[in-house]
Structure 1
Amino acid sequence: MMKSTIEPECTGQFSPLFIDYIRKREELKPFYHHYPSLENFKAIIEGRSFGAEKRKVLAESIHRQYEGFELSEPSIKNLEGLGEEKTFTVTTGHQLNLFTGPLYFIYKIVSTINLAEKLQATYPDYRFVPVYWMASEDHDFEEINHFSYEGKKYSWNTDQKGAVGDFELNDSMEAFIKEIGFAPSFFKDAYRLQKTLAGAVRYYVNYLFGEKGLLIVDGHDARLKGLFSEVIKDDLLTNKGNELVNRQTERLEKLGYKSQIFPREINFFYLDKGIRSRIVKTKDGYEILDTGRHFSEEEILSLVDTNPELFSPNVVLRPLYQEYILPNIAYLGGPAEVAYWLQLKLVFDHYQTDYPLVMPRNFAMIKGVRAVRKARALGLSNEQLFVSFEAWKKTYVKEHAASDLSLEKEKKALSAIFEQMGEEAERVDPTLQHAAEAAKTRALKILNHFGKKLRQGEERNLATDLQRMQALKEILFPGGTPQERKNNFLEFYLKDERFIEKLYTHFDPLDFNYIILEDNG
């Protein structure tokens, strides 16, 4: 593969807040700790405090989560290293997509692994462990119950409710797997050998990335939640998270940026078998929406002590929970994630939790052999790939037309004729000047109409090129969606099992430009 890059601004895919963050806009400095650069990690590392007891609980919990799984030697060493005070994590998180879901799931993890390796080379006195945080408690099943392969959507349907990580892989999953005949055996094993969706995702992620030492963390864990119990209680009692995020959001909005997340009075769900429902305050205590369950203040606080796993943070406090239980120094996410982390700095300060370097994952487009050929035939630059088809077509037809589609020369000549006629007619009868102007307007409309017909004729003559561009757009932006947010990585992996290895070579987590990878066959 050949690599080139373009500036993110040229793609038109990112919010102003994201662009201004990676471009180090001065006004945004109060919303984060340090800007993500290799030299700034030194201060983060030296300032990161994480107690021995937390390390012990973390290591034991992850070890227990891996029971029944085969760990690679690098993963074993990283897991053992979590107990050491000079070990730190770099983390990304994502939902439990079927068969990895869209490409950018792979990009997230590759970026995270590369960052850990780059930090290891730069700061050899420390250990850096790449971590994938499974969003096992998420309950939006419709977001993850499908994936797209070669233009076809494959979906798994089940009537299970609650945290998706707990979904059982029953007969409906077996029927679904049989439909995916092209899937490699490790995927089929993941969904057949494991009992839950979380187990299946752990299996295939461990298969794909275990040799790189990646550790997979499931926050749906009683002991890990126990470390977070005081924050759970504080949010139930004081609603401080709601106040602080709203304050930070207001500051961002005054700078002209849109909010990415919206806090609630209580930022925890009640999580039980088949249930993930909001907790709301009532005049008598607390209610679990849509369940009929009620608790007094004393009862719910006692429940936090005895069963902290029943409390699931929402998007506002999930990042705090993650940083609370990990010795983490960096979080890598997509543009929306990076933007909403900027709304959380005051929450971290309030709970005296270290705020990590917040970094964008790598963004990439794969131009396969067909796409490369079509782009070259049209003489397209990488920047032009991101221009809308209609805008590109207008420019392309104008540049390649056999005639002047603007008809500017003809319009000027026609206007001059009618203006001369008007001047001569005015000497005969002053009222004829208006008639001449009206006649000029009608004539120009006729000329404009002819110009449209002329353009349509030129488009017919250039039909092959226009069709080539439409086909190219569908390859790189299927259904109008960026390739990395639509296509599954199997489209590339099944053609080349070294696909992920090649991504390691070309991705640089500290280069925030958009990557174009060309396969020239």
Structure 2
Amino acid sequence: MNTLYFDFKSIGKFSDNDIAYSSGNKKLEPFYSFFPSQENLLNAAEKRKNFTVDREVLVAEITRQYKGFTDHEEIFTYISKLKDPNVFTITTAHQPNLLTGPLYFIYKCLSAIKASGEFNKRNSQYETIPILVLGGEDHDFEELNHLRIFGKPIVWEDEQGGAIGRYKTASLQPIIDEIYQILGDSENAQLLKGKIEKAFNGKENYGQSMQHFVHELLGHLGILVVSMDNKAFKKRMIPYFKDDLLNKSSHRIVNEVQESFSEAGFDKQAFVRPINFFYLTKNSRDRIEENNGTYSLVNSDNNWSQDELLHEIETNPENFSPNVILRPIYQEVILPNLAYVGGGGEISYWLERLSQFEELKVFFPMLIRRDSIQLISNKDLEILQEYHFSIEDLFLPDHKLTEKYLSEFGRDEIDISKELQAIDELEKKVQEKAEVIDQSLVARIGAQFAKFKNDLQGVEKRLKKTEKQSHDRNIKKINRIKSKLFPNNGLQERSDNFMSWYILHGEGFFQLLLEAANPFDTRMKTIEV
């Protein structure tokens, strides 16, 4: 395995905010607590001890969730480690995209696993466990109902509505059948189909299926998958829901921070509302708005007085769901977390939250930018090398790639005008000799030379066409490789599903990625597989 490294800025696909954080821009220092490094994780552990969580409830609820799909005692022993006050978590989070969706879902998990594993190697006083929080309460179905395998889009059609993790899975069967057809019958395909079957057969809802599926894929690497759509967890959010309703602390503070963020030269992120949580019902997740002391749902006739809504929060906290502004708070009051592993967009909105966390007296974790990875096959790399191209060349616009190819391999323009001129001179000499012998032969000689010159011009056209076709074929080869790394001119990790690669490399695929992962090295990693 060979890995090449490229600065985000050189690739031209990453936001200015992302580049600034990953390159250690000092203007961002006021917006975070710990510079991302393995050494600082130990400092985070020392400070985290002052922010307690209910470890008994945490272990009980994760255990209950896992009992829904496994009876392996070693898993429950592993989960029970979280009762130890010297055991912390390194967390990432994502929506339950269709069978994990784009590759970066996997990269997030592996980044958390790698950061945790390296911390555990370096420290004996503390231990960390990597966690994936599966955001099953999200309700934007069109954000996650699709994936792409070998360039083919697969779309899950369903209109249940509400929290996606609560969707019934009956409508998924045609999608799974289609995926099976694409995967074929190889040994790796059969292995992957077995994991899908185990995860999606007999589960109550999509959230549980995805929890099981990620465990089947990555659980052996030590990551725990946790659902936060949970009444016991939501009870810990009661004071924060109430604060948001009565004091609007998050609305006030995040707005202020966003102004400072903008003044420092960075783009504002998530929109903060006066009320930053939703109301959940069986098939909806609706925003709450206040109008003259009455609280109502945007897409429903439900309404409450302030006292009634406070009573509902107190007695049925499971009916409330934090939005993007309160979700990080929720995560950190439930988990004994040292660090959050996220993509560039996530890191940007976390950077707007430090003052919010301080106001609410919640621990603000280290922010670790997940690994960004590109995958290129050995065959494609050999083709690039054959034409003297590098991975860096694929960062160029298409017309620049073509120019580079032609500058290397394009021959001089095929032009026989000089040869035709020489034939004209020859024709003239022959006609001069013919005139002396027989004047009537001059016209016949001219016709023969005209036919010959016309045939030569036809040969010239064919040579030009053949030359162009040869170049076009080779240029298309290079552009096809570029489109694999940058599908639709975007990043591969935001498009392709892991199955496109797993089917070729099997279980070793995840281990290969884990070896290359290092979220503290914030460069694009291009791996030859």
Q: TM-score range by the shorter chain?
A: 0.7 to 0.9
1:485 paired with 2:484, answer no
Q: Does 1:95 align with 2:95?
A: yes
Match of 1:321 in 2: 330
What whole-Å deviation, never above 9, does each CA across 1:91-135 have from its counterpart, x for those lacking one?
011111112111111111111111111010111221201000001
Paired with 2:165 and 2:8, the residues of 1 have a C-alpha distance of 34
Q: Distance in 1 between matches of 2:475 and 2:76?
A: 54
User: Which residue of structure 2 aligns with residue 383 of structure 1?
Assistant: 392
Q: 2:82 matched to 1:82?
A: yes
Q: Once the 2 structures are TM-superposed, how far is the Cα of residue 76 of structure 1 from its aligned partner?
A: 2.6
My pick for the range that moved more, 387-396 or 139-148, is 387-396
Q: C-alpha distance in 2, partners of 1:459/1:43?
A: 62
Equivalent in 489, 514, 520 of residue 510 of structure 1: 520
Q: 1:341 to 1:274 in 2, by over 3 A?
A: same
TM-score scaled to structure 1, two decimals?
0.86
Output the amino acid matched with 1:137.
E
Gap change, CA 1:479 and 1:73, over 3 Å in 2: farther
- Per the alignment, do residues 479 and 311 of structure 1 end up closer, same or farther by CA in structure 2, a change over 3 Å counting? same
- Classify 1:468/1:52 alpha carbon distance in 2 versus 1 (closer, same or farther; 3 Å): closer
Q: CA deviation at 1:191?
A: 1.8
- Pairing 1:173–2:186 present: no
**Could you say which residue in structure 1 is the equivalent of 2:256?**
247
**1:468–1:176 CA distance, 2 compared to 1 (3 A):** closer
CA distance 1:393–1:375, shift in 2 (3 Å)? same
Task: Give yes or no for contact 2:147–2:153 (8 Å, CA) kept in 1.
Answer: yes
Cα distance in 2 between the residues matched to 1:19 and 1:338: 11
- Structure 2 vs 1, CA of residues 252 and 71 (structure 1 numbering), >3 Å: closer, same or farther? farther
Gaps of 5+ in 2: 184-191, 414-463
- Distance between the aligned counterparts of 2:284 and 2:368, measured in 1? 33
Supply the AA of the counterpart residue of 1:44. A
Q: Secondary structure at the match of 1:148?
A: strand
Counterpart CA distance in 1 for 2:72 and 2:36 is: 30
Aligned to 2:509: 499
Q: Which amino acid aligns with 1:312?
A: S
Aligned equivalent of 2:206, options 197, 207, 228: 197
**TM-score, normalised via structure 2 length:** 0.85
Provide, for residues 64-104 of structure 1, a one-character-per-residue CA deviation record: whole Å limited to 9, x for no partner.
Answer: 22222216566433311111110100001111111211111
Name 1:187's counterpart in structure 2: 196
Give the whole-Å Cα distance in 1 for the aligned partners of 2:289 and 2:104. 35
CA distance in 2, matches of 1:374, 1:399: 15
Q: How does 1:35-50 map to 2 (within 5 A)?
A: 35-49=35-49
Distance 2:331 2:315 in 1: 21
Q: Which whole-Å CA distance do the structure 1 matches of 2:247 and 2:327 have between them?
A: 18
Deviates more, 1:92-101 or 1:388-397: 388-397
Q: Report Cα offsets for 1:456-490 as digits up to 9, x if no partner.
A: 99866632331122211222222323211111111
Q: Structure 1: how far apart are the matches of 2:143 and 2:372?
A: 21
1:52 and 1:6, CA in 2 relative to 1: closer, same or farther beyond 3 A? closer
Secondary structure at 2:83 match in 1: coil
SS state at 1:248 partner: helix
Q: Does 1:26 align with 2:35?
A: no
What does residue 415 of structure 1 align with? none
Distance 2:174 2:148 in 1: 17
Question: In the alignment, which of 218, 223, 233 is matched to residue 232 of structure 2?
Answer: 223
The DSSP-based 3-state class of the residue aligned with 2:496 is coil
Between stretches 468-477 and 305-314, larger displacement belongs to: 468-477
Q: What is the distance in 2 between the residues matched to 1:67 and 1:51?
A: 29
> Which ranges in structure 1 are unaligned for 5 or more consecutive residues?
405-454
Give the deviation of 1:509 after TM superposition. Answer: 2.2
CA 1:227/1:516 → structure 2, altered by over 3 Å: closer, same or farther?
same
Which SS does the other structure have where 2:300 is aligned?
A: coil
Structure 2 distance, partners of 1:336, 1:379, is 35
> Quick check: 1:151 aligned with 2:161?
no
Contact in 1 for aligned 2:132/2:225 (Cα 8 Å): yes
Contact 2:211-2:227 at 8 Å conserved across structures: no
Superposed counterparts of 1:240-279, under 5 Å: 240-279=249-288
* Residues 152 and 45 (structure 1), Cα distance of their counterparts in 2 relative to 1, 3 Å cut: same
Residue 74 of structure 1 contacts residue 212 of structure 1 at CA under 8 Å; is this kept in 2? no
Pair 1:506–1:300, CA change in 2 (3 A): same
**Cα displacement (A) at 1:359:** 0.8
Partner in structure 2 of residue 423 of structure 1: none
Residue 426 of structure 1 is matched in structure 2 by none
Q: Deviations over 1:236-255 (max 9, x none)?
A: 11211111111111111112
- What code does the residue aligned with 2:480 have? A
Aligned length: 469
Taking the aligned partners of 2:480 and 2:394, their CA distance within structure 1 comes to 12
Alignment of 1:105-504 (within 5 A): 105-170=105-170, 172-181=171-180, 182=183, 184-398=193-407, 400-403=409-412, 462-497=471-506, 498-504=508-514
**Equivalent pair of 1:74/1:210 in contact (CA under 8 Å):** no
Contact kept in structure 2, 1:141 and 1:164, CA below 8 Å = yes
| Higher-Rg member (1/2) | 2
8 Å Cα contact 1:139-1:276 kept in structure 2: yes
Q: In the alignment, what sits opposite 2:15? A: 15
Please state how far the C-alpha of 1:264 moved relative to its aligned partner: 0.8
Identity among equivalent pairs (%): 33
1:401, CA displacement in angstroms? 4.2
Q: Is the 8 A contact 1:269 1:312 kept in 2?
A: yes
Alignment correspondent of 2:67:
67
Tell me, in whole angstroms, the C-alpha distance in 2 between the residues paired with 1:251 and 1:74.
48
Are the counterparts in 1 of residues 53 and 334 from structure 2 also a CA contact under 8 Å? Answer: no
Letter in 2 for 1:141: F
Question: 1:400, CA displacement in angstroms?
Answer: 4.5
**3-state SS, counterpart of residue 194 of structure 1:** coil
Change (3 A) 1:458 1:256: farther
* Between 50-59 and 348-357, the greater mean CA deviation after superposition: 50-59
Tell me, what secondary structure is at the counterpart of 2:505? coil
Partner Cα distance (2:466, 2:241) in 1: 68
The alpha-carbon distance between structure 1 residues 105 and 471, as it changes in their structure 2 partners (threshold 3 A), is same
| CA distance in 1 between partners of 2:402 and 2:269 (Å) | 34
The code of the aligned residue for 1:160 comes to Q
CA distance in 2, matches of 1:342, 1:62: 29
Q: What CA distance in whole angstroms lies between the structure 2 residues aligned with 1:253 and 1:284?
A: 33
Query: Does the 8 Å contact 2:51/2:363 carry over to 1?
Result: no
CA deviation after TM superposition for structure 1 residue 297, in Å: 0.5
Give 1:173's aligned amino acid.
L
Q: Distance in 2 between matches of 1:366 and 1:22?
A: 21
Assess if the C-alpha contact under 8 Å between 2:339 and 2:368 holds in 1. yes
- The one-letter code matched in structure 2 to 1:346 is S
Amino acid at match of 1:35: F
Would the alpha carbon gap of residues 53 and 500 (structure 1) be closer, same or farther in structure 2, given more than 3 Å must change?
closer
Shift of 1:53: 6.2
Q: Corresponding residue for 1:434? A: none
